[in-house]
């Protein structure tokens, strides 16, 4: 078995039962945070949250062939369900904004699970 998929431990990804679209979206999310392409909110409990517009994900990842924001939302929810991401929803006069934070510990495990301490 290949050790990594999109830079993440394949063994850990299998434990989380993620499909390739979810893995690709997770990699996109990590890349956007590193590249500072997402708006960060003020810290909540010392945790940064990042604004995600589902249409932006669709436009950024045309290879996935996803055109419906609800499908993107389901993939993000799967990432939240396994504890890799956490979601915060804010509703105001302008509409609804969806923010995500990440579990640093779990992301590091995905990236470096082959390393022994």
4-111 belongs to CATH 1.10.150: no
Show Cβ contacts of residue 102 under 8 Å, excluding neighbours closer than 6 positions: 29, 30, 33, 84, 85, 86
Domain range list for the chain: 4-111
| Residue pLDDT, tens place only, 92-113 | 898 999 999 999 889 888 887 6
pLDDT < 70 regions, the chain: 113-117
Phi, psi of 90 (to 5 degrees): -120, 125
């Amino acid at each position: 078995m290949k050790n990594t998929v999109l830079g993440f431990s394949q063994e850990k990804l299998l434990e989380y039962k993620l499909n390739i679209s979810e893995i690709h979206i997770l990699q996109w999310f990590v890349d956007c945070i590193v590249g500072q392409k997402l708006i960060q909110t003020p810290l909540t409990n010392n945790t940064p949250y990042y604004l995600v517009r589902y249409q932006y994900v669709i436009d950024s990842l045309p290879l996935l062939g996803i055109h419906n924001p609800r499908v993107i939302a389901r993939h993000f929810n799967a990432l939240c369900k396994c504890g890799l991401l956490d979601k915060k929803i804010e509703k105001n006069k302008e509409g609804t904004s969806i923010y995500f934070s990440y579990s640093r510990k779990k992301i590091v495990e995905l990236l470096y699970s082959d390393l022994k301490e």
